[in-house]
């Protein structure tokens, strides 16, 4: 149940963390400190760079640890990336609710995503420890993902209106926060009194809200691999470039109408896979007398990757077709109106 962690060389893992750390430091302290609104060209270049890096990294895993963990990484990365795109809906709402000046939004996303990654790392370590000791937790993970998938199909959408979580509400009770921004500063002075700026709340809102989404995404990727290293790096590569995707797709997010259905198929599939794996390692006394259920078929990793690619690809293609159809109908109506 520990996956392929032992097959991945320690030197490779250390080198990976060093390189990824450099990525985030440069993004925060060099690129992020230059307030600007990314151009379409800049966004496309950054997204392409990180996608290529993820593909190369998967190839490195293949070379150092074998095909199975590499396919697990690609499956996890695609799943996390797809779920991260869905998260952008909430990021847009948060930026709007807190009236973050557009020129500072890239920096806000950089810090918020870094906070989210640290919190996710803690979540992953805890999840890995629980899974190692209690395999029955897969039943809970699987049931939760299936429940989430059903909610997506039914159209249950809690993202229409952002509501501050408990962390933000508690902080407002104990911390003085000004009404206006002061550039990128976290602290400002008003009439001789020191205040925190709304930037602090926005950072926490982005970071903690992303962790709320991790309750979907982390169980999903644990359904694809049990290796904490692959789980974490899949999350990192999914979050890298997310801020550029925010600016590139910001105006198009509401037009990706079939993305929730594609995500529902992926989460439902992984949920079923988790339940099946839980049955394989069953120790619960009220199921099959506490013995593993061997007749349940195993789902190979390559099939998981195929389901993810086809589901998300089909949802994206259908959304684009729908968008073009609506634009064509609108143009036709405009012509007829003349």
Return the pLDDT at 74: 93
Least confident of 25-34, 124-133, 323-332: 25-34
Distance CA 81, CA 75 (A): 10
Return the pLDDT at 6: 44
The whole-model pTM stands at 0.74
The string of pLDDT tens digits covering residues 68-120 is 899 999 998 988 888 777 677 677 778 877 888 888 887 788 777 777 788 78
Confidence of residue 164 (pLDDT cuts 50, 70, 90): low
Closest CA to 50 of 314, 304, 245, 246: 245
Distance CA 108, CA 103 (A): 10
Confidence of residue 156 (pLDDT cuts 50, 70, 90): low
Return the pLDDT at 4: 44
Average pLDDT, the chain: 79
> Is-contact 226 131, C-beta < 8 A?
yes
For residue 223, how many other CB atoms are within 10 A of its CB? 27
Measured at the CA of 209, the angle between CA 53 and CA 143, to 5 degrees, comes to 85
Mean pLDDT of 284-311: 82
Return the pLDDT at 2: 38
CA distances from 27 to 14, 23, 30, 211 (A): 20, 6, 6, 21
Closest CA to 129 of 39, 219, 204, 228: 228
Closest CA to 199 of 175, 218, 215, 174: 175
Of the chain, the percentage scoring pLDDT greater than 70 comes to 87
Mean pLDDT of 133-156: 81
The string of pLDDT tens digits covering residues 192-241 is 888 888 888 888 887 777 767 667 777 888 888 888 899 889 988 888 87
């Amino acid at each position: 149940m520990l996956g392929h962690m032992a097959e991945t060389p320690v030197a490779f893992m250390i080198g990976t963390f060093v390189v990824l750390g450099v990525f985030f430091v440069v993004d925060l302290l060099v690129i992020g400190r230059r307030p600007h609104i990314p151009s379409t060209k800049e966004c496309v270049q950054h997204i392409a760079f990180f996608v290529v890096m993820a593909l190369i990294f998967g190839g490195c895993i293949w070379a150092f640890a074998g095909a199975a963990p590499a396919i697990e990484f690609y499956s996890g990365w695609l799943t996390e990336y797809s779920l991260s795109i869905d998260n952008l809906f909430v990021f847009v709402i948060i930026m709007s609710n807190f009236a973050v000046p557009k020129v500072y939004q890239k920096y806000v996303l950089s810090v918020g995503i870094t906070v989210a990654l640290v919190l996710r790392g803690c979540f992953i370590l805890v999840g890995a420890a629980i899974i190692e000791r209690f395999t029955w937790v897969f039943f809970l993970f699987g049931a939760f993902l299936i429940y989430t998938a059903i909610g997506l199909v039914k159209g249950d959408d809690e993202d229409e209106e952002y509501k501050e979580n408990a962390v933000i509400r508690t902080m407002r009770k104990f911390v003085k926060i000004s009404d206006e921004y002061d550039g990128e500063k976290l602290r400002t002075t008003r009439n001789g009194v020191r205040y925190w700026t709304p930037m602090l709340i926005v950072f926490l809102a982005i970071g903690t809200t992303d962790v709320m989404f991790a309750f979907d995404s982390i169980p999903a990727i644990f359904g694809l691999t049990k290796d904490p290293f692959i789980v974490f790096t899949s999350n990192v590569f999914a979050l890298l470039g997310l801020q550029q995707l925010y600016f590139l797709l910001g105006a198009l997010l509401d037009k990706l109408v079939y993305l929730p259905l594609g995500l529902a198929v992926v989460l439902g599939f992984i949920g079923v896979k988790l339940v099946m794996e839980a049955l394989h390692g069953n120790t619960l006394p009220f199921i099959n007398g506490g013995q593993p259920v061997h007749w349940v078929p195993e789902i190979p990793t390559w099939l998981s990757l195929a389901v993810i690619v086809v589901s998300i690809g089909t949802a994206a293609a259908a959304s684009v077709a729908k968008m073009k159809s609506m634009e064509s109908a609108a143009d036709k109506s405009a012509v007829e109106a003349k």
